A and B are shown apart, each in its own frame.
Chain A
Amino acid sequence: MMFAFDLLLALALLLSGLRTLTTPRLDRGIVLFIAFGLLLALAWARLSGPDIGLAEAAIGAGLAGALLLDAYGVLQRSKDLHSKGVAFKRLIVIALGTAFTIVLSEALLDPLPAAIDLRVPVAAHLEESGVSHPVTAVLLNYRGYDTLLEIAVLLLALLAILAVVGETRIASPSRAHPVLQALARLATPSIIVMAVYLLWAGAFRPGGAFQAAALLAAAAVLLHLVGLLPGWSTPRLRLRLGLVAGFAVFLTVAAALLRQGALLKYPPEAAGGLILLIESALTLSLALILAGLFLILSRDEDAS
């Protein structure tokens, strides 16, 4: 029974992905991309990856969709929105997609035996890691170094945007109708509660800093769209501190532990607390970074 479900899901994913890439109209592509993101969240649910499903639902369905739609709105005023050379692009997409599918299928059908099965050591050391959810343990403890670099990359992306945009005036959007503002006011506390829940729950079930941050950023975008939160101009000190807080805290903890020998080797009795501290700082910073991706570039010239 579920095989039929999975088959239909796989086909829908393939077709929507293909169509997203080959459609000549941008707005159609954007909507199909949002749909693709939602289908992907379903796929992660079926693959027993609720952590990724959470992130995909928050970012793919919410933030990325809003970003693309905003960008499209800006583009619509300026230029022709039809892609050129569609047939050629279609050919390339189909050729590459087919090649990739063949390679992937061969790899799946004839897998090399894993050199090390990491599930056993992960499970064995879970009590010492400070959390009881294996995904969080891997992200924040066993492979904490990768997460440290991840947040650095995201911070760099925001810095790049700031550099490109330059000095800006504050974009204060027109205030939307009171009904929409009421919606935003109703939704925001729920979103904040959900975000804090996900941050806290990350220690023992799917959740974590990234998902919580995505939710908070989405709340900020919602508030901005209805006119309750002005866009961001060049950040001043407080915002800058918030943006780097996550990376700074993580780096400080890592450096402090360096004296004990290895980078990011938490002492087992303090591991839980340290991870919570790092995750909280990460949530704050990531939320500001993700929100900044939208708010710094937002230009609402339309009075509606």
Chain B
Amino acid sequence: MSLLSHVVALFLLANLAVALFAAARGQTPADRMLMALLFGTTGTAVLVLLAAAGGGTPLIDVALVLALLAAIGGIAFAKRAWHVEGNDRD
């Protein structure tokens, strides 16, 4: 059980790494922000898995905080930081 927690945590982290790579390469601003949001949720999952795998219940608090605040970045982006649509070079 604990082993499975470790394996899944590692798998999710690999997911994050892929998302990170895509965030660096994403074509539109929205793509990149969605990656950041995926980071938030996957990070929450990794934290609770780490809590079960020996990190203890304080990590569940960290996961709760992350879950609560993930929305704020997304809403800030949608309302403040997104003014042009479209792909960009580089």
Q: Do A and B come from one complex?
A: yes
A residues whose Cβ falls under 8 Å from a Cβ of B:
1-2, 4-5, 8-9, 11-12, 15-16, 19, 23-25, 27-28, 30-32, 34-35, 38-39, 41-42, 45-46, 48, 50, 53-54, 57-58, 61-63, 65-66, 69-70, 72-73, 76-77, 176, 180, 183, 187, 190-191, 194, 198, 201, 205-207, 211, 215, 218, 221-222, 225-226, 300, 302, 304
Q: Decide if A73 touches B39 in the complex (CB within 8 Å).
A: no
- Complex Cα distance, B10 from A37, in Å, reads 19
Q: A35 near B75 (CB under 8 angstroms)? A: no
3 closest A-B pairs by beta carbon, nearest first, are A62-B69, A50-B58, A73-B80
Q: Are B76 and A66 in contact (CB under 8 A)?
A: yes
Where the two chains meet, the residues of B that have a C-beta atom closer than 8 Å to any C-beta of A are 3, 6-7, 9-10, 13-14, 16-17, 19-20, 23-24, 26, 29, 32-33, 35-36, 39-40, 43, 46-47, 50, 53, 55-59, 61-62, 64-66, 68-73, 75-77, 79-84, 88, 90
B50 and A61 form a contact (CB under 8 A): no
Distance A66 CA – B71 CA, assembled complex (angstroms):
10
Q: How far is the CB of A187 from chain B (nearest CB, A)?
A: 7
Question: Are A28 and B24 neighbours in the complex by a CB distance under 8 Å?
Answer: yes
B75 touches A45 (CB 8 A): no
Which one, A5, A24, A45, A190, contacts B62 given CB within 8 A?
A45
Asked if B69 and A218 make an inter-chain contact with CB atoms under 8 angstroms apart, the answer reads yes
* B24 pairs with A23, CB closer than 8 A: yes
Chain B residues within an 8 Å CB radius of A76: 81, 83-84
